[in-house]
Amino acid sequence: MSAILSVSQLNRYLSFKFKEDKNLRRILIKGEISNFTNHNRTGHFYFSIKDESSMIGAVMFQNFASRVSFLPKNGMKVIISADVNVYEKSGNYQLYVTEMQPDGIGEAYLRLEQLKEKLLLEGLFDNSYKKKLPAYPEKIAIVTSLDAAALQDMLRIISERYEALEVEIYHCLVQGENAVKSTVSAIKLADNSDSDAIIVGRGGGSFEDLSAFNSEEIARAIFAAKTPIISAVGHETDTSISDYVADFRAETPSAAAVAVVPDMKTVLQKLDDMSFTLQKLCGEKISDFDRFVKSYELKLSKFSIENRLKNIREKLSHDEKRLNSLYQNKITINKALVLQKIELLDSLSPLKVLERGFSLAYKDGKIVNSASKLKTGDRIEIAFSDDKVSAEII
């Protein structure tokens, strides 16, 4: 005997079982709508889907319900895409609807959904295969009909945004029985044209008009291309298989034109910014070098010849002044000494004695200091204070 479960535990377990079953994911069901309630406040749809003998509850939450392009009514035959899950609170299983189409186009819609599923499983829609669009394309290809008004719109927008571009138009039939073949061959040609990106698309139209872009052949041609491809089919609300498989989905051909080229003004602004940065960086570097050189010049100038000469000159001039002053001092001192000596000499001078009445006798230029040194007949000179006279000894 197994353990006793609570109701919540049982419902959670059932919910888990439902979620685990892949056969209950993304299933397509056709039937008639009944008990339809459009919950005004939340925008959710609550209804049932029934056939002759059976019925199942369904809920379509606001985020999905808002994408339904018609207003569902009781009695309307529809095809829906949904998961089956358990609503644990009441223990009901019900459909959680993600897409709804009227059953009028039933067959085609069903085929489309099946193809979408097949390509999805094959990985054709995987993000890992998506190529990046070039930021600055130089050549692009547009695969569309020459008659399409969408082509004129695209060319006008491109020429307004960015002129540095070569555009090659690969004409193809975008509707009718030859559309698929024609478009596939144009995609292949465009892919071999060395273009940086390809826009594949057409303007709006009915489900049938757009059907070529839901074909497997075009999907595979887009997937096989080595050039990044922008898919631009119909209006915002139309989503084709081309959109899923392309590297970039543009909601409209005009949006594709905006996505494929940059805006010239922005590019010029970017170039100006780069130019400013270049000037600024180089200016800063050169000022750094200048400062560096100047600092060395300053250091070097201390050792320059001019500076050394200047130093020597200054030293010489200083020494000269010093010498001068020493010399002057010496002279003054010496002068005083000499004067002193002169005075002394003066006081001792024999002339002073002569002035007092004494006289000096010279013989042969020598002073005669004794009478014994003279004999009769010697010629002598007698010096007085004012003059000399000659005399003879008798």
Partner 1 sequence: MKFEEKLKKINEILLKLENSEVSLEETVELYKEGSLLLADCKNEIEKAELIVSVKGENLE
Report the interface residues with partner 1, using CB under 8 A: 134-136, 138, 141, 146, 155, 158-159, 162-173, 182, 185-186, 189-190, 193, 264, 267-268, 270-271, 274-275, 277-278, 281-282, 285-286, 289
Name the DSSP class of 173.
-
Amino acid, res. 92: N
H or E segment to which residue 157 belongs: helix 149-161
Residues 6+ apart with CB under 8 A from 92: 57, 86
Give me the least distance between CB of 159 and partner 1, in Å please: 5
What is the chain's length?
394
Residue located via tokens 């960015």:
162
Q: In the complex with partner 1, which residue's Cβ is closer, 184 or 368?
A: 184
Between residues 79 and 151, which has the closer beta carbon with respect to partner 1?
151
Which residue pairs from 103-108 have beta carbons closer than 8 angstroms and sit at least 24 positions apart in sequence? 103/30, 103/77, 103/78, 103/79, 104/77, 105/207, 106/30, 106/79, 108/207, 108/208, 108/211
Running DSSP on this structure, what letter comes out for residue 261?
Answer: S
Structure token pair of residue 78? 């529809």
Nearest CB to partner 1, comparing residues 51 and 263:
263
Q: Which residues contact 35 (CB under 8 A, 6 or more apart)?
A: 46, 47, 48, 74
Q: At what angle do helices 149-161 and 253-260 cross, to 10 degrees?
A: 30
CA distances from 147 to 152, 156, 173, 254 (A): 9, 15, 9, 16
In order of 1, 135, 231, the CA distances from 239 in angstroms are: 55, 25, 10
* Cβ at position 162, least distance to partner 1 in Å: 7
Please name every residue paired with 32 in a beta bridge, in sequence order, or none if there are none: 50, 77
* Tokens 């080595």 belong to residue: 226
Q: Which helix (H) or strand (E) holds 55?
A: strand 55-60
C-beta of 293: minimal distance to partner 1 in Å? Answer: 9
**Smallest gap, in angstroms, from Cβ of residue 140 to partner 1?**
10
Q: Smallest gap, in angstroms, from Cβ of residue 170 to partner 1?
A: 4
Cα dihedral sign, 108-109-112-118: negative
Q: Give the residue with the Cβ less far from partner 1, 146 or 339.
A: 146
Residue 235: CB minimum distance to partner 1, A: 25
In the bound state with partner 1, the residue whose beta carbon lies nearer, of 70 and 289, is 289
C-beta of 80 vs 151, nearer to partner 1: 151
Question: Is the Cβ of residue 152 or residue 334 nearer to partner 1 in the bound state?
Answer: 152
- Taking the complex as a whole, how short is the minimal distance between the CB of residue 193 and partner 1, in angstroms? 7
- For partner 1, the closer CB: 286 or 389: 286
Residue (64 or 213) nearer to partner 1, CB:
213
The nearest distance, CB 286 to partner 1, in angstroms, is 7
Mapping DSSP to helix (H, G, I), strand (E, B) and coil, where does residue 21 land? coil
**In this complex, which beta carbon is closest to partner 1, that of residue 95 or of residue 169?**
169
Helix (H) or strand (E) holding 46: strand 45-50
Residue type, 59: V
Q: CB of residue 105 vs partner 1: minimum separation in angstroms?
A: 28
Please report how close the Cβ of residue 189 comes to partner 1 at its closest, in angstroms.
5
Cβ of residue 301: shortest distance to partner 1, in angstroms? 21
| Residues sharing a CB contact under 8 Å with residue 115, sequence separation 6 or more, in sequence order | 214, 216, 219, 241
Query: In this structure, what token pair is assigned to residue 100?
Result: 């709804």
Q: Please, which residue, 119 or 179, has the CB nearer to partner 1?
A: 179
